[in-house]
């Protein structure tokens, strides 16, 4: 059963990693991914993340279930923030515990690829130079990254 959280406040990725292995003798690998806010070479002042309450959590849970159906996983945690996020701050984390590293790496990577294209979050960029802010456009390579799992599945 995956742990899914959508929250405004920051999270402690190391603590989330530790929590998945604590007290368990069957975990052989924990992979954790953290996505950070970049400053885009000094051009970005802040990101503002909007999301669809209810659907974001549901979609993240569906992505976790998809990972659990493909690999034998012992624990899955996915956390995504919303609201204002400054460069250097954490945006998202996915943590996967499994018996072996191969399935933990693969599951974490697939979950991130799917979260980017399926979880209803939208980033608006506030520019450092005060120029017009704008919605970040979806990238074609994110669709390609997600599609290769469909081909593999």
Partner 1 sequence: MKAVYFAWVRERVGKAEEELEPPSTVTTVGDLIAWLAARGDGYAHAFEKPSTIRAALDKVHARHEAALAGAAEVAFFPPMTGG
Binding site for partner 1 (CB under 8 A): 35, 49-52, 54-56, 58-59, 80, 91-92, 112, 115-124, 135-138, 142
CB nearer to partner 1: pick between 24 and 58: 58
Instruction: Judge whether 126 and 47 are in contact, CB under 8 Å.
Output: yes
CB nearer to partner 1: pick between 18 and 89: 89
Nearest-approach distance from CB 129 to partner 1, in angstroms: 21
Nearest-approach distance from CB 27 to partner 1, in angstroms: 25
Nearest residue to 16 (alpha-carbon basis) of 66, 83, 78: 78
CB nearer to partner 1: pick between 106 and 119: 119
Find the distance separating the first CA and the last CA of the chain, reported in whole Å. Answer: 21
CB nearer to partner 1: pick between 64 and 74: 64
**Sequence-distant (≥ 6) Cβ neighbours of residue 70 within 8 angstroms:** 106, 107, 110, 153
Nearest-approach distance from CB 121 to partner 1, in angstroms: 3
CA–CA distance, 85 with 101 (Å, rounded to integer): 31
Nearest-approach distance from CB 130 to partner 1, in angstroms: 19
């Amino acid at each position: 059963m995956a742990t899914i959280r959508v929250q405004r406040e920051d999270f402690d990725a190391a603590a989330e990693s530790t929590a998945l292995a604590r007290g368990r003798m069957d975990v052989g690998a924990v992979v954790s991914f953290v996505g950070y806010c970049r400053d885009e070479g000094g051009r970005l002042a802040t990101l503002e993340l909007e999301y669809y309450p209810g659907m974001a959590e549901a979609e993240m849970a569906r992505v976790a279930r998809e990972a659990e159906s493909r690999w034998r996983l012992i624990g899955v945690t996915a956390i995504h923030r919303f609201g204002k996020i400054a460069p250097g701050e954490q945006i998202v984390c996915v943590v996967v515990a499994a018996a072996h590293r191969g399935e933990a790496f693969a599951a974490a990577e697939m979950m991130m690829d799917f979260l980017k294209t399926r979880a209803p979050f939208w980033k608006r960029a506030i520019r450092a130079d005060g120029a017009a802010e704008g919605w970040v456009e979806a990238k074609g390579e994110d669709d390609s990254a997600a599609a290769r799992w469909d081909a593999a599945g």
